[in-house]
Amino acid sequence: MKEDEIIRLVASRLYGEGENPLYPGDDSFVVDLKEGRYVITCDQYIEGVHFGGDYFTYQEMAVRAVYATVSDICAMGAKPQFYMLCLGLPPNVDMDVVEQIAEGLYRAQEALNIKCIAGDTTSSKSVNLSVFCFGISEGRVLQRSRVNVNDDIYISGEIGLSYVGLELLKGGLNRKSAEAERWGRAIERHITPLPRVELGLSLAERGIANACIDTSDSLSICLNHLSASSGVGIEIDRDTLPISSELIRFSEMKDFDILEVALYAGEDYELLFTTSNSKSEEIDNLSRKLGIRLTRVGRAFEGEGVYLIGMGERLKIEAKGFSHFGR
């Protein structure tokens, strides 16, 4: 059974018709307040599934768990405020492991200016972190269901950094070596992908973006989410995709298809957003202010499906990438 099917099955039992906040929808849930709205999300991170113990320290696991969860808050244009943590640990866990996790949580808190307000612990076969994050939105909330026909599609940063970092680490790269320094950006993007807090806030508060999603899943999955949730088609120009120089260099070493990785690998934790084409100057100004590359990669059209345009071809992009429950 696919992950989406499991979510749909559980949600159908829990919610009546028209009141289902889980599917189809966003990775965060919105609560109305007098001063604004809370945006709430959760994620689970399990050693051996989300984290490779061979090349992640427990401190880095904790940092990444918080960062990755906060990324969903950023994608909705909200400001992260606080989080709760449920921590599963083996019964015979070393105190050093707990200290590393605590240090990682502290470092993530300091970087993002948020606090842990509550949590729980339990015994488990391996280290397990479930993070519940709360953000606040005082204006518009960015949702993946609000893409308009003729919107431009933008992505922040560069594509493929996390994939390169992962493959290098899986290949046994010594992180203290000179070679690791040469691939520093890729390794950092995979290990500790700092979420785009200021970008998400700016896109919402300035009314620049109509819809947004983070690229924790593959680009193909995220584009298909935007398309299906909004009831529009999307065309992507292959020549405009901001492929990282590291991915190009790595492909020359390993001889693989760059485009396949760009479309179907994930975990870059960038923001994929849409905007009316009248906002291009504002986006250029925002890019310069924040020092973040923002690239127009396509447009939305009246129709359905996601297509790749280039080299005289128009190819349909299926939603493919990693799934916890297989294909």
Model pTM score: 0.89
Output the CA angle 10-12-14, nearest 5 degrees: 70
Give dist(CA 218, CA 122) in Å, integer: 32
**Phi and psi, residue 326, nearest 5°:** 75, -170
One-character DSSP codes across 43-86: EEEEBTTTB-TTT--HHHHHHHHHHHHHHHHHHTTPEEEEEEEE
Does residue 212 lie in a domain region? yes
Q: What is the largest CA-CA distance in the chain?
A: 60
Q: Distance between CA 319 and CA 317 in Å, rounded? A: 7
Mean pLDDT of 141-149: 96
| Among candidate residues 108, 137, 166, the one where a domain is terminated | 137
Tens-digit pLDDT profile for residues 256-285: 999 999 999 989 999 999 999 999 999 999
Query: Do 114 and 210 sit in the same domain of this protein?
Result: no
In a domain, 321, yes or no: no
Query: Alpha-carbon distance 73 to 218, whole Å?
Result: 18
Taking the CA of residue 8 as centre, how many other CA atoms within 13 Å lie in the half-sphere pointing to its CB?
A: 6
pLDDT level of residue 19 (50, 70, 90 thresholds): low
Q: The domain that contains 297 carries what CATH number?
A: 3.90.650.10
Torsion sign over Cα 54, 326, 66, 44: negative
Residue 155: which pLDDT band, with cuts at 50, 70 and 90? very high
Which CATH number fits the domain that encloses residue 79?
3.30.1330.10
Q: What is the DSSP letter of 256?
A: -
Domain count, the chain: 2
End-to-end CA distance of the chain: 8
The answer to whether residues 222 and 321 touch, using CB atoms and an 8 Å cutoff, is: no
User: Of 202, 219, 211, nearest to 276 (Cα)?
Assistant: 211
Q: State which residues form the domain around 133.
A: 3-137
Domain co-membership, 168 together with 298 = yes
Query: What are 76-132's pLDDT values in tens digits?
Result: 999 999 999 898 989 888 888 888 888 999 999 999 999 888 888 888 898 999 999
Are 130 and 211 found together in one domain?
no
What is the pLDDT at residue 98? 87
What is the residue whose two structure tokens read 């918080």?
66
Domain co-membership, 215 together with 251: yes
